[in-house]
Structure formats: structure tokens, C-alpha cells
């Protein structure tokens, strides 16, 4: 394990480097002080993990409780300096850890086994693609159950319950399954240090019976650990610098372009030193925005091929030499592989490798070292910048809208520009916000984040939560489309619980705009919600929240003045109504090129073997890969047609509201059946948005929402503050989703008389509607069977490890 035990000095990240302490250690925490000897009661596995998280700079962990992680959560919240942030679902917990890592340099989330792990997996994959160190912690089964033939709940019903681990192996750089105490200390330290060294997520599964058990290894270190720094190969570094300097110094009009891996390499400051030394024109790739100061006198904008900021592409693509520091070239960043760049003119600098033109490649050369040494060898050459200065035409005066004219998106972003300062940060959701936010001129110190490599819609809600929690001194401004917001809206609830003061601009144009411009179809139209009413329902009087809906520039100006003035201490949600076809010209161009790249016909010589497949037999519908055989024949069909309630009984996943939709779909042949769904409030918060789909499908389901203010099943297994959820106004929330489209009736009942009346209405006058009945009950009103079941499951989970 590449760690060492040593003292930790006060650490302060460099101004332009994320998680880059001046003393060279991995931690970002300032002034960590721990006792010389860890108290025996604190020398448990759970507390050791908690201490390690605090030591590397994680003060907030995003979680969703489940019966396998409850004891672990107890030990995390007991650690001074560590806050547990309960999220509405695991996907958002993962996105929040992603956003947190972008600001702090590392993030963490805690979920339960398989049902939680597979739910968070999408967010972990996004963090992997974006090279973010993220500690994904899973509460696993009792350690005694490994190697037995027992079938456990929260699994796919097989004695082998390693499926979750195998899923995580492809999206994490290290996996630790901790099912004994002897190896736990080293496994946890190795996992955390690997995440920091590789700048990738790691997976740690901890047996549910181990977190509370003391062990001598957890008391042995009085001080935090630190990573040994990576070093460049001296001969390779010298050779790379010499070759690059010769390449650039003989060029007439060289340019520099910063990419997203500047963050991974912690080389932002070194890149600026190179810019200062060379005098070159400097641009950023779209996903590198925010990593290079835009106030630099030689900054010329975002290089994004055909959709670059004004006059930037002309300068970069006409250069006779360009150095790209930390680039990622994919179909999105290359605008459908249409960049007009030539390999022989390029120096590509990756975190530990340099490639010069068609010539040599130099390995074991760290980007930070290379850029700093190269800065000492460059001749000053500002030709490219002077060319930019000559062709640059300042933006004209924007057209003035007539009073009460419908609001245009470009006008919205003109006003967002005025809101930016060093005390703000911008989060751009996947979609047209990518292109509009690229045009924003970031003041010094203003943060900026978006997820370009993975491009998962809905990412921004959780990422905003995590980023704002990591830097409470900044006010986050999030730009989110309505389609993306529908995916992850519920964790506005968590923002309110945390007292965050984010400003969310919800851009409502009635569809998936980015998909429309790539390939349009009826599937890109979404159901319109009343978004302000939805947020008001989630707010429900708890926390500080202000909402507004604006249709014209005058209303927008007034809303921004309120959000930045009288409501500056509130979470502010501004729904902006725009025309469905009001998109940036950059998205139109980008969409057409990406569409062309996606629709390229197959080359005749391409075979499935190149994709890793060994066989593809259409007739038998069997696909064989090197590791797995997927069969879709009769046996699979029989399994598919089982009633949905049987399919989900073993898996027992929160929010199996989707199970009900699945069941209705398979009962379309018998429309006389009416589904009655009984759902707890905690489960409903996980997947509430697809009530919208039920309405679009004209379903007549009756939903009984049982509101008792928490995760009841977890309370009876093992209670703690993490089982308490924020109360929403659920009927108002469903009314906001309904928004007058489709047939829907809602009511809230507090007593039996009201319940009887509600059922009579739902089965009589409103029998052709989707009926939503919120039933208010006491938080401790549970069945005696659940009390008995919970105590026995708790006993099973907490069985002590077998000595052998």
C-alpha cells in the first residue's frame, strides 16, 4: 500500500487546483488534530472509516438508509466533523457525492446492499468517466453469510450474491469487500488511497455486523495517513521538455488549449504559468471551462470545433502548433468527430504522458512537472493572440425585447451573467445549458461544473446539492431543463433540509431539447408539470424556499432582484417559460453533427468480434460474450410474465412504484382490473415522478400514500436520525405533476370517516381517474408483525462474526 504514517500540517488547497494541498499530502482538511491514542470505544471499524473520511477532507457523506447499513450510519454520525446528509434516493446521493468531489477533491456516499448499490451505480459510472475520487460505501450482508448457500433479501435470489461487486468492478478502480476485522484496516486504507491516487471511485462493502466491533488495528494510528507523491522520470521529463520546446519555439503562431484532465493532474496553476511564459493565445475545451482563469489577458474562449465561442475556432484550427493539456476527445467534445485538427501539429499532454506530433511519446512524465519545466524553455510568441485581437468583433448590443414579449433563452443568460461573482458557482445541466453556459464569462473565483463525458440527464440536481454543501460560502446557480429536472427533482427536498441558498433556473420548454436537435420524435415530448407548485409541495413550510414563474424579461428581472435581495437567504426556484424551439445556434449545429456521427452506416469489414462478442445468433436470440451468455428464449419469457409483485418480493427495493406500472402494462389485456397500490412516504420519495407517466397512459390506479414521516421498516430494524425524512405535501405534489393534463383526483385523509368518503369517491364519481389518497398516520403506527419481523431481522444482521 502506497501510504505512509506521518504528521499532517495545516493544508490549504492551491487557488486553482482542486484538492491540491501545499504540503503535498492528499488531505484537504485544515488543522486535523487527533488524540495520541484512540479510545477503545472509538476503535471500531465504523469509526475508523469515519476518521479516514474526515482526514481526507470529507465532512459530509450522502446516504440512503437500508437495513444493512444502519449500524454503520450510527458510527459515521458519531464522528466529530462528519455530517450525514440523507438523500431521497441513491442515484441522487451518488450525484451529490460527485458534485462534492468537484469542489472538495473527494466525495463519499453510503447505501445499502444491491438495491442501493445498483441504484447508485449510474452516478458512480459518471464519476469514473469524469475522473473524480469518490468513496462508495455499501452496507453488506452479515459476514457469516459469505460462502454459505443461504439466499438473502436485497439480492437477485441466488446463493451467490456477488453480482453487486461484479457490477462495480467496471466503474471503480478498487473494490474492498470487508467481511473480517483482521484485514479491514488495510483494506479501507488501500481503497481510500487508491481513489486519491487514481482519481477514480472505489467500492467498499462492509458487513452489517462489523461496524460496531472494536479491534486493535483501529487504535494503532495517532495521526492521519498521507500519500507518497508521484514523481516524474527525470530523463523522460527532460527529453519531453526539450522536444516540446523545440516544436513550439519554431512555430509561427502556436496556441494552448486546456482540457478537463488539468483537474486530475492538479496542474491548473502550472498551465497558467505556461500561458504567462509563452504569451500564446489560450483557450479551453468545453469540459475544461472553469479550470483556467477567463480574466487572463490572452484568454480567447472555448474551443469546441464548429460550436466554439466567437473567433476561437478560427485561431486554434489555423495555428501551426497547438498544445492540448489534459484533453478528452469524444464524439461530444469533437462535435461528431469534426474537429479540424492535425495530429502532426499537436502536443498532447495527459496526466502522466506526453505525445508530440507524429513523433515520440514520453511516459512517466507528470503533467504538472512538464508544464512548469516547459514554461522555462519557451520563447515569447503572441502572434496567435494578436491575430485573434485583429479579427475579434465585440458582441453587438443585444436586441431589446418589447414590453411583455415572451422571454428568450439568450436574454435569460444575459441576466445570469450579471449575477456572477467570485462568491458564486454555475452548474450546467446536460442539454442547451451546456452551450448557453459556455458563453458566460466567469469572474475570478467563480466555480463552473458540468458533466460532459457521461452526459447523464438529471445529474445537476444531485451535483448542485453536493457542490453547495462542499462550499457553503458560495451561492450556486443551477441551470436545468425541465426534462432533466423530472429525473431527479426530489432532492430539492435535501437542499432545503441542509439550508442551502441555491438559485435554480428551471428552463421549461416542454421537452428533451438536446435529443430533439440530435433526432426528433414524439418520445422527446414530456408531460408538463407545474414546477413551482411541485417545489412548493416539497417545501411544505419546512426550510426557507421562494418560488416564482416568469414569462417575460420584466418578470425575470424582478425575480432575480428578489432572489439576490429579499430572498438571498433562501433556496430560490425560478421557472422560466420559453418557446419549445428556442435553442442556441450552437446546439442546432452540434446536434446535426452528432446525429450524423451516430447514423454513420456500418463498415462492411466491421465484425462483432471487435466489440468483444463471440457469437450473435438472431434466430435463437442468444448473445454470447467472453464471460456471460444472455438468453431471451422461452424460459426468459416465462420469467418475464410472472406477476410483478413476485418479481420484486426478493429484491424488495425502495420505491417499487415502477413495479405497479410494470404490472399494469402486463394486464393491458384485462383493462377491467384496477390496481390498488399501498406505498409508504419514504418509498414514494424515491420514484414519485412516474405518477406523471401513469397520467400520460390514462391509468386508473388508486394509490394510498401512507404518510408516517419516515422509513418505517428501517425504524423497526434499527432506529436512528437517518430514518427521518422531510415531510412533503404529497397531494399538492401530485396535483403539480397532474397540472391539468389527464384525469387525476387527490385527497388527504386524517380519520376513518374521511377515508370512507375518499374511497367512495375514488370507486364512484372518480372511477375513471387516477386517484391519489394521502393517509396521515402516527409515525409509530405499525403492524405487530413488522415489530416482530424487524427485531428478528435485526438480530440476524447483527450476529457476531464467527471466530474461524
Domain ranges of the chain: 3-227, 234-391, 409-589, 603-632, 642-797
pLDDT of residue 396: 64
Structure confidence at residue 37 as a pLDDT band (50, 70, 90): low
What CATH number belongs to 234-391? 3.40.50.1220
**Does residue 297 carry a pLDDT above 90?**
yes
DSSP state of 680: E
Instruction: Inform me whether the pLDDT recorded for 440 exceeds 50.
Output: yes
Q: Residue 81: pLDDT above 70?
A: yes
pLDDT, tens digit (0-9, with 9 covering 90-100), for 750-763: 999 999 999 999 99
Highest-confidence segment of 82-96, 141-155, 515-529, 579-593: 82-96
CATH 3.40.50.970 fits 409-589, yes or no: yes
Cα 465 from chain centroid? 10
* % of the chain beyond a pLDDT of 70: 86
Residue with cell 469572474: 443
Q: Read off the pLDDT band of 248 (50, 70, 90).
A: very high
Compute φ and ψ for 532, nearest 5 degrees.
-65, -40
* pLDDT at residue 32 in the model: 44
pLDDT at 687: 94
CA distances from 753 to 75, 359, 747, 756, 781 (A): 45, 83, 13, 5, 18
Q: What pLDDT, on the 0 to 100 scale, is given for residue 552?
A: 96
Written as nine digits, the cell of 503 is 438559485
- What is the Cα–Cα distance from 442 to 649, expressed in whole angstroms? 51
Coil vs helix vs strand at 204: strand
Determine the distance from the C-alpha atom of residue 60 to the mean position of all C-alpha atoms in its chain, rounded to a whole number: 15
Q: Give the lowest-confidence range in 230-239, 337-346, 639-648.
A: 639-648
In percent, the amount of the chain with pLDDT more than 90 equals 72
Of 308, 319, 476, 469, nearest in space to 382 by CA:
319
Distance (Å, whole) CA 222 – CA 6:
9
Cell of 432: 442547451
Residue 146's pLDDT is what?
86
Query: H helices within 289-366, ranges in order?
Result: 312-318
pLDDT of amino acid 35: 52
| pLDDT value for 402 | 80
pLDDT for 510 equals 84
All cell numbers assigned to 220: 494503532
Q: How far is CA 65 from the centre of its chain?
A: 19
Rounded mean pLDDT of the chain? 87
Amino acid 804: pLDDT: 54
The fourth-level CATH superfamily of domain 3-227 is Thiamin diphosphate (ThDP)-binding fold, Pyr/PP domains (3.40.50.970)
- How much is the average pLDDT of 568-590? 93
Note the pLDDT of residue 623: 30
- Banded pLDDT at 404 (limits 50, 70, 90): confident
Q: Is the pLDDT of residue 511 over 80?
A: no
d(CA 49, CA 71): 13
Structural contact between residues 107 and 192, judged by C-beta atoms closer than 8 angstroms:
no
Record the pTM. 0.87
pLDDT at 646: 39
Does the pLDDT of residue 333 top 80, yes or no?
yes
Q: Which triple of cell numbers denotes residue 653?
A: 427495493
**Beta carbons of 64 and 232 less than 8 angstroms apart:** no
Domains 234-391 and 409-589 share a fold: yes
> What SS3 class is residue 95?
helix
Cα separation, 578 vs 581, in Å, equals 8
Helix H or strand E segment including 550 = strand 545-550
pLDDT of res. 514: 74
Class of domain 642-797: alpha beta
Q: Give residue 16's pLDDT.
A: 35
Lowest mean pLDDT among 625-629, 718-722, 727-731: 625-629
- Say how far residue 449 (Cα) sits from the centre of its chain: 11
* pLDDT at residue 802, as a whole number: 84
Residues in the chain: 804
Residue 754's Cβ-count burial label (10 Å; 0-12, 13-18, 19+) is middle
Distance CA 611, CA 625 (A): 9
pLDDT of residue 29: 36
- Count the helix, strand and coil residues of the chain and give each as a percent rounded to the nearest 5: 40, 20, 40
Amino acid at each position: 500500500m502506497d501510504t505512509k504514517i506521518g504528521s499532517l500540517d495545516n493544508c490549504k488547497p492551491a487557488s486553482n487546483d482542486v484538492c491540491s494541498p501545499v504540503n503535498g499530502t492528499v488531505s484537504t482538511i485544515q488543522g486535523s488534530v487527533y488524540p495520541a491514542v484512540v479510545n477503545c470505544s472509538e476503535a471500531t471499524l465504523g469509526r475508523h472509516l469515519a476518521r479516514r473520511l474526515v482526514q481526507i477532507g470529507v465532512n459530509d457523506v450522502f446516504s440512503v438508509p437500508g437495513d444493512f447499513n444502519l449500524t454503520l450510519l450510527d458510527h459515521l454520525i458519531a464522528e466529530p466533523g462528519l455530517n450525514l446528509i440523507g438523500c431521497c434516493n441513491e442515484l441522487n446521493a451518488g450525484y451529490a457525492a460527485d458534485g462534492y468531489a468537484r469542489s472538495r477533491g473527494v466525495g463519499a456516499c453510503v447505501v445499502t446492499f444491491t438495491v442501493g448499490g445498483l441504484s447508485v451505480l449510474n452516478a458512480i459510472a459518471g464519476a469514473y468517466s469524469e475522473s473524480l475520487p469518490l468513496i462508495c460505501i455499501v452496507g453488506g450482508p452479515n459476514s457469516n453469510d459469505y460462502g454459505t448457500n443461504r439466499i438473502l433479501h436485497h439480492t437477485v435470489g441466488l446463493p451467490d450474491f456477488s453480482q453487486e461487486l461484479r457490477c462495480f468492478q467496471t466503474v471503480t478502480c478498487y473494490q474492498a469487500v470487508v467481511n473480517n476485522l483482521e484485514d479491514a484496516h488495510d483494506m479501507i486504507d488501500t481503497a481510500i488511497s487508491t481513489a486519491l491516487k487514481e482519481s477514480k471511485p472505489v467500492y467498499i462493502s462492509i458487513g452489517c455486523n462489523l461496524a460496531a466491533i472494536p479491534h486493535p488495528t483501529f487504535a494503532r494510528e495517532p495521526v492521519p495517513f498521507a500519500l507518497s507523491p508521484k514523481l516524474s522520470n527525470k530523463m523522460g521529463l527532460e527529453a519531453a521538455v526539450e522536444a516540446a520546446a523545440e516544436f513550439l519555439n519554431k512555430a509561427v503562431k502556436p496556441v494552448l488549449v486546456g482540457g478537463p484532465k488539468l483537474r486530475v493532474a492538479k496542474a491548473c496553476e502550472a498551465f497558467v504559468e505556461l500561458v504567462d511564459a509563452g504569451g500564446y493565445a489560450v483557450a479551453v475545451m468545453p469540459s475544461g471551462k472553469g479550470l483556467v482563469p477567463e480574466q487572463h489577458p490572452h484568454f480567447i474562449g472555448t474551443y469546441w470545433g464548429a460550436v466554439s465561442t466567437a473567433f476561437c475556432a478560427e485561431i486554434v484550427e489555423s495555428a501551426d502548433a497547438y498544445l492540448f493539456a489534459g484533453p478528452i476527445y469524444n464524439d461530444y467534445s469533437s462535435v461528431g468527430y469534426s474537429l479540424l485538427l492535425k495530429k502532426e501539429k499537436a502536443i498532447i499532454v495527459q496526466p502522466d504522458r506526453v505525445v508530440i506530433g507524429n513523433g515520440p511519446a514520453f511516459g512517466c512524465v507528470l503533467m504538472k512537472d512538464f508544464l512548469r519545466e516547459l514554461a522555462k524553455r519557451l520563447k515569447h510568441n503572441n502572434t496567435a493572440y494578436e491575430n485573434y485581437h485583429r479579427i475579434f468583433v465585440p458582441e453587438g448590443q443585444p436586441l431589446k425585447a418589447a414590453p411583455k414579449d415572451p422571454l428568450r433563452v439568450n436574454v435569460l443568460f444575459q441576466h445570469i451573467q450579471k449575477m456572477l461573482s467570485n462568491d458564486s458557482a454555475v452548474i450546467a445541466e446536460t442539454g442547451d445549458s451546456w452551450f448557453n453556459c459556455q458563453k458566460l464569462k466567469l469572474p475570478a473565483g467563480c466555480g463552473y461544473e458540468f458533466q460532459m463525458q457521461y452526459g447523464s440527464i438529471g445529474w445537476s440536481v444531485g451535483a448542485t446539492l453536493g457542490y453547495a454543501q462542499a462550499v457553503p460560502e458560495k451561492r450556486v446557480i443551477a441551470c436545468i431543463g425541465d426534462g432533466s429536472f423530472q429525473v431527479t427533482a426530489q432532492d430539492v427536498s435535501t437542499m432545503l433540509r441542509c439550508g442551502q441558498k441555491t438559485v435554480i433556473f428551471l428552463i421549461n420548454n416542454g421537452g428533451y431539447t438536446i435529443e430533439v436537435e440530435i433526432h426528433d420524435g414524439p418520445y422527446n415530448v414530456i408531460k408538463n408539470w407545474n414546477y413551482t407548485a411541485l417545489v412548493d409541495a416539497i417545501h411544505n413550510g419546512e426550510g426557507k424556499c421562494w418560488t416564482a414563474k416568469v414569462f417575460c424579461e420584466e418578470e425575470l428581472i424582478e425575480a432575480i432582484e428578489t432572489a439576490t435581495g429579499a430572498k438571498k437567504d433562501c433556496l430560490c426556484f425560478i421557472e422560466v417559460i420559453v418557446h419549445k424551439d428556442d435553442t442556441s445556434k450552437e446546439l442546432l449545429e452540434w446536434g446535426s453533427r452528432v446525429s450524423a456521427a451516430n447514423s454513420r452506416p456500418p463498415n462492411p469489414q466491421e465484425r462483432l468480434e471487435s466489440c468483444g462478442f463471440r457469437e450473435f445468433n438472431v434466430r435463437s436470440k442468444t448473445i454470447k460474450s467472453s464471460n456471460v451468455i444472455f438468453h431471451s428464449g422461452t424460459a426468459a419469457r416465462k420469467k418475464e410474465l410472472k406477476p410483478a409483485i413476485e418479481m420484486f418480493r426478493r429484491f424488495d427495493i425502495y420505491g417499487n412504484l415502477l413495479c405497479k406500472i410494470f404490472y399494469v402494462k402486463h394486464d393491458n389485456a384485462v383493462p377491467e382490473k384496477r390496481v390498488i397500490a399501498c406505498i409508504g412516504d419514504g418509498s414514494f420519495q424515491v420514484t414519485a415522478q412516474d405518477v406523471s407517466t401513469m397520467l400520460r397512459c390514462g391509468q386508473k390506479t388508486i394509490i394510498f400514500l401512507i404518510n408516517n414521516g419516515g422509513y418505517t421498516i428501517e425504524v423497526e430494524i434499527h432506529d436512528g436520525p437517518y430514518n427521518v425524512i422531510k415531510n412533503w405535501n404529497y397531494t399538492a405534489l401530485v396535483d403539480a405533476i397532474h397540472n391539468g393534463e389527464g384525469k387525476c383526483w387527490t385527497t388527504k385523509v386524517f380519520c376513518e370517516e374521511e377515508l370512507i368518503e375518499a374511497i367512495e369517491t375514488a370507486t364512484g364519481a372518480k372511477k375513471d381517474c387516477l386517484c391519489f389518497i394521502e393517509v396521515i398516520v402516527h409515525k409509530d403506527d405499525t403492524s405487530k408483525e413488522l415489530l416482530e419481523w424487524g427485531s428478528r431481522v435485526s438480530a440476524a444482521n447483527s450476529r457476531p462474526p464467527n471466530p474461524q
